[in-house]
Amino acid sequence: MITWQLKPFAELTTIQLYQLLKLRVDVFVVEQQCPYPELDDKDHQKDVYHLLGYESDKLVACTRLLPKGVSYPSVSVGRVATAADHRGGGIGHQLLEESLRACQSLWPNESIEIGAQEYLAAFYERHGFVRTSDMYLEDGIPHIDMILEK
């Protein structure tokens, strides 16, 4: 059973911030062997929210929800991460569904744009996203832009 929390940066406890950054670094830097600037000055910007998924006291999934104009002209979901030992049981789909619900609550009737790793295109398509770009490399990893129109 996953417990979801939605918080702006200023409301994260130091433990939550540590867990959030550790999960993202574990997934995006260590696991994917991709040194990149994880701390990109977007986490703490106005109206940016963090969705945290806990199993007991362990953070097992997270996303970053960004208002229009921070990453894309539209609302955006990014830094979508699930702990390696919690994959395969549908938590990723729950995480994205919770993220989309939170975006709808925060920014009603807004389209959502994402920069997705290309191999995850079918995952996002299952949730209504459509491809809007050709493949491009971001930090050496193939990505595509996608949008969920409202």
Q: Give the mean pLDDT of the chain.
A: 95
The tokens for 5 are 């929390």
Q: Look at residues 117, 100, 44, 107 and name the one whose alpha carbon lies nearest to residue 74.
A: 107
Percent of the chain scoring above 90 in pLDDT = 89
pLDDT at 38: 86
- Please answer whether residues 45 and 29 qualify as being in contact, where contact means their C-beta atoms are separated by less than 8 angstroms: no
pLDDT in tens, 46-97: 999 999 999 999 999 999 999 999 999 999 999 999 999 999 999 999 999 9
pLDDT at 34: 84
Report CA 21 to chain centroid distance, whole Å: 12
Task: Report which residue type is found at 95.
Answer: L
- Please answer whether residues 82 and 91 qualify as being in contact, where contact means their C-beta atoms are separated by less than 8 angstroms: yes
**Whether domain 3-110 has CATH 3.40.630.30:** yes
pTM of full prediction above 0.85:
yes
pLDDT at 144 over 90: yes
pLDDT at 33: 85
pLDDT at 150: 84
Distance set, CA 95 to CA 14, 55, 82, 87, 134 (Å): 22, 13, 8, 11, 26
